[in-house]
Structure 1
Amino acid sequence: MLIVGILICIQVIVIVAYLLYKKYNPQAVLLTSGLLMMILAIVTGMGMPNVKDSTGLVFFDIFLQIKTSLSNKGAGVGLMIMTIGGYVAYMKKIGASEALVYVSMQPLSIFRKHPYFAASLVIPIGQLLFMCIPSATGLGLLLVASIFPVLVSLGVSRTSAVSVITACTIFDMGPASANTARASELIGKSNVQYYLQDQLPLAVPLTLILMVLYYVVNIYFDKKEKNESEKTEMSEFKINVPLIYSILPVLPLIMLIVFSPFFNFFEPAIHLDTTTAMIISLFIAMLFEVFRLRNLKEVFASLKTFWIGMGNVFASVITLIISAEIFSIGLINLGFVDSLVNASQSLGFSATGIGVMMSIMIFLASMLMGSGNASFFSFGPLVPDIAMKMGIEGSRIILPMQLSSSLGRATSPIAGVIIATSEIAGITPYQLAKRNLIPLSSIAIIMLIIHFIF
């Protein structure tokens, strides 16, 4: 019967991937496919809904599972992700995001005689910005408006300039990331702990290698395509707020690190969670606005942006997390995890083999779907069961899976960040995805080698 379950799972996964590629609503696809697998698990006697306070009818318990997921995610990690989304929206509203980008990109001006080196330097600076502005498309558009004209005027081709801009979004990490929040929840760590102990030690060497890869690849292709330097006609990037506003997007990250038990700076210890840090930072930002605008009514009215941002994140990210969880429960009930572990063991695969296989699967899924969240949220919830059965720490598997999801997204011609930035830069999404493919597929392989071998 287990063989029947795994065959059903494989067929469902293929159908889901096809529907997502065809731009069907991901929440609807994942939710209905998850419900279908749960029903099939009941009919075949392979699994039953694992819910508290059963309704008394097993088929009703399936829908009770959705209610349970809504309650758990809405009040826990969901609330945290929503406050992050609201804060990011407020930062954009008051111009703090633009101020941060403007200040961060100023050091590049001293490398005007070395255009490709300057282009490569965008990657680590942009990655720091991405931890504070955790929207791939949002940050990409800000960088296209600010640093893209500079790089092009230095002699870097449009494709090379926008390729390093999108490379800033390939490591979806930091306490403000939705993927980080979900991954840390799945392995039972705090956002800051997961970021400092797991993400950062791997991302630092990978970023340095990535800079070299883009430097070499962009020079090679620009010479091959006989690029000629061109002056951009795009308007100059301007900010309309004091430069001190650049501290506001970074403020939650600073607070989370300073008041983290990981460092233990204070006695007695002060513990600050991500949601609370976002709310404190929000009111500090409002205080900045009071001094700048001298109009209390206008400042109070601007708070609506925060609530709308929270609502938008619930409609997009939280519903996706819940739908993906139902999808993963359906896979588990049909024996997908048990079959995966048994097959891996029979083939001589260790936990490393499973981790590599899952990471490659997510990389390809992100490339196919154009979404890092959809691929990671779909398969991430399987990790706790796999880690428990293999007897290893969850972060050993989930970290490369999480980073592979954002790596694959930047190689997809249908990803939002690729479409948006390439359109403004005057190139096609396929040109940009093709330019990203070599360095990002290479760094994915290097990541797996460093993580699992060293």
Structure 2
Amino acid sequence: MLIVIGAIVVAITVYLMVKQYETRLVLFGAGMFLALCAGEPMAPFKAFSHAMQENKLFEAIIAVMGFAMVMKLTQCDQHLIQSLVKPLRKAGPLLIPGATLVTFFINTSITSSAGCSAAVGSILIPIMLAAGVHPAIAAAAIYAGTYGAIFNPGYAQVALVAEVAKASNMEVVSNHFMTMLATGMIGAFSLLVVALLLKENKGYVVPSDKQLPADFSVHPVKALVPLIPLVLLLLGSFGLVPALKQLAISHAMIIGVFVAFAVTRTNPQKISKEFWHGAGDSFGHVFGIIICALVFVSGLKSVGMIQAMTDAMVHTPAIAKISATFGPFILGVLSGSGDAAAVAFNRAVTPEAAKFGLSAIDMGSAAAIAGALGRSMSPIAGGMVICAGFAGCSPLESAKRNAPGMFIACCVTMWMMLYK
């Protein structure tokens, strides 16, 4: 009975979000209702407290949003945008898949989907908007590339598959390399097709209050400032500058703020105020949605929906191949976490892969990739919320545009990994 109630509440929640009711209210209310139905009224409050203590995610988000506000104050973001808009317009519709693939590459080093969304989205989304790309497509293009981390041998999901399959991390990455490459291309170019069909690849006009004077002159040094944190992070992540290896996203953003002051000589009091203004906004708007999403997920857990889906996959070996892909995929969509979905499957089912006539390394990678694909079209995923915030659109609108490509990519993952 609780499962039925859960399914009805999920349907109503999706409907209310489509109708653009206040996202935080809908998610928090749905989570509370489900928990009360399950007789666990404290579950949402525990999820709320747990989310408030997610200091690593919180640290990255507030620092990036604070940095973005400083870039806006100093107009360094506009110098970068204006310097790139003309050449990028020549790329035509390829700007959209190009942004996805660039994010895909960067995510191999900045492996947090939320952190990568914040670091890359703060630069590329405004550039895409200025080039005429619709906000929902611009946000979707960035988040569609945030599962490139599975290329990284040190990524937690790769390590888990290696442990279960009794293989090395490099063997796991080599095994799913071509599948990842294919799904990345599918996600990028499927979004382009969606943009062309909806005529959202060009024509968007930035609101007049955000436009610059016609005689705005680009300063090349100021144009480089927004790139400073990303360059520092990449130099450290790829080991090109060992001293930067331990540099956190938040630290890179703070360094960027100091560089902005040195280059523009803006009043430091104004810079401080804008940085903390951005930090506060990020908590209220971005992190607020993430908190409420976790409350909603706790409600789903309370009524047993997440566990029921996991059990169905475990106890249905006849459809093991479908379960290994679409099980984590659906869980990723519902929970906003590809890692949680894949870990649950790979811990419970993948060790028994031989019983289904499959190899553990293939089944494990399929589950990890599918979970990430599902998360990449989830309207409650933290990274999606961040990208939508930069674009000024609804997370659900961006998620809908990513859905066709992620679904097709999941089918291709199943075929390439489990039917080869």
Correspondence for 1:370: none
Correspondence for 1:81: 61
Q: Is the 8 A contact 1:98 1:239 kept in 2?
A: no
After TM superposition, give the deviation of residue 171 of structure 1 in Å: 3.4
Could you tell me how far apart the structure 1 residues matched to 2:413 and 2:314 are? 21
Q: How does 1:420-435 map to 2 (within 5 A)?
A: none
Greater displacement, 299-308 / 264-273: 264-273
Residue 444 of structure 1 pairs with residue 409 of structure 2? no
Residue 401 of structure 1 pairs with residue 368 of structure 2? no
Q: Is the 8 A contact 1:133 1:249 kept in 2?
A: no
After TM superposition, give the deviation of residue 10 of structure 1 in Å: 0.7
Residue type at the aligned position of 2:323: G
Could you tell me how far apart the structure 1 residues matched to 2:3 and 2:193 are? 44
Out of 30, 35, 48, the position equivalent to 1:33 is 30
Correspondence for 1:94: 74
Gaps of 5+ in 2: 104-116, 160-172, 351-363, 382-387
SS of match in other structure, 2:143? coil
- TM-score under structure 2 length normalisation: 0.65
Residue 319 of structure 1 pairs with residue 316 of structure 2? no
Q: Is the 8 A contact 2:31 2:297 kept in 1?
A: yes
Residue type at the aligned position of 1:274: I
After TM superposition, give the deviation of residue 242 of structure 1 in Å: 1.4
After TM superposition, give the deviation of residue 203 of structure 1 in Å: 8.0
Residue 120 of structure 1 pairs with residue 93 of structure 2? yes
After TM superposition, give the deviation of residue 13 of structure 1 in Å: 0.8
Could you tell me how far apart the structure 2 residues matched to 1:164 and 1:308 are? 23
SS of match in other structure, 2:142? coil
After TM superposition, give the deviation of residue 144 of structure 1 in Å: 4.6
Correspondence for 2:53: 72
After TM superposition, give the deviation of residue 132 of structure 1 in Å: 4.7
Q: How many residues align?
A: 350
Q: Is the 8 A contact 2:32 2:295 kept in 1?
A: yes
Could you tell me how far apart the structure 2 residues matched to 1:107 and 1:330 are? 48
Q: Is the 8 A contact 1:132 1:249 kept in 2?
A: no
Residues 442 and 283 of structure 1, relative CA distance in 2, 3 Å threshold: same
Larger Cα-atom Rg: 1
Residue 15 of structure 1 pairs with residue 2 of structure 2? no
Residues 243 and 281 of structure 1, relative CA distance in 2, 3 Å threshold: same
Q: Is the 8 A contact 1:400 1:451 kept in 2?
A: no
After TM superposition, give the deviation of residue 300 of structure 1 in Å: 2.5
Residue 389 of structure 1 pairs with residue 348 of structure 2? yes
Give the superposed CA RMSD.
4.8
Q: Is the 8 A contact 1:170 1:403 kept in 2?
A: no
Could you tell me how far apart the structure 1 residues matched to 2:339 and 2:329 are? 10
After TM superposition, give the deviation of residue 361 of structure 1 in Å: 8.3
Residues 77 and 187 of structure 1, relative CA distance in 2, 3 Å threshold: farther
Could you tell me how far apart the structure 1 residues matched to 2:8 and 2:194 are? 38
Correspondence for 2:256: 281
SS of match in other structure, 1:34? helix
Could you tell me how far apart the structure 2 residues matched to 1:237 and 1:165 are? 27
After TM superposition, give the deviation of residue 442 of structure 1 in Å: 5.4
Residue type at the aligned position of 2:373: P
Q: Deviations over 1:414-447 (max 9, x none)?
A: x889997xxxxxxxxxxx99xx97xx66533442
Residue type at the aligned position of 2:79: A
Residues 387 and 213 of structure 1, relative CA distance in 2, 3 Å threshold: closer
- TM-score under structure 1 length normalisation: 0.60
Residue 251 of structure 1 pairs with residue 233 of structure 2? no
Q: How does 1:145-156 map to 2 (within 5 A)?
A: 145=130, 147-148=131-132
Could you tell me how far apart the structure 2 residues matched to 1:15 and 1:8 are? 11
Correspondence for 1:350: 320
Q: Is the 8 A contact 2:191 2:405 kept in 1?
A: no
Could you tell me how far apart the structure 1 residues matched to 2:136 and 2:22 are? 28
Correspondence for 1:329: 298
Residue type at the aligned position of 1:86: G
Residues 304 and 203 of structure 1, relative CA distance in 2, 3 Å threshold: farther
After TM superposition, give the deviation of residue 7 of structure 1 in Å: 1.5
Residues 200 and 272 of structure 1, relative CA distance in 2, 3 Å threshold: farther
Q: Is the 8 A contact 2:67 2:278 kept in 1?
A: yes
Q: Deviations over 1:77-129 (max 9, x none)?
A: 112111111112222222222222223334357x5xxxxxx312322554559
Name the % identity: 19
SS of match in other structure, 1:24? coil
SS of match in other structure, 1:134? helix
Correspondence for 2:21: 24
Q: Is the 8 A contact 2:119 2:230 kept in 1?
A: yes
Gaps of 5+ in 1: 49-58, 112-117, 149-161, 190-196, 223-228, 364-374, 409-414, 421-431
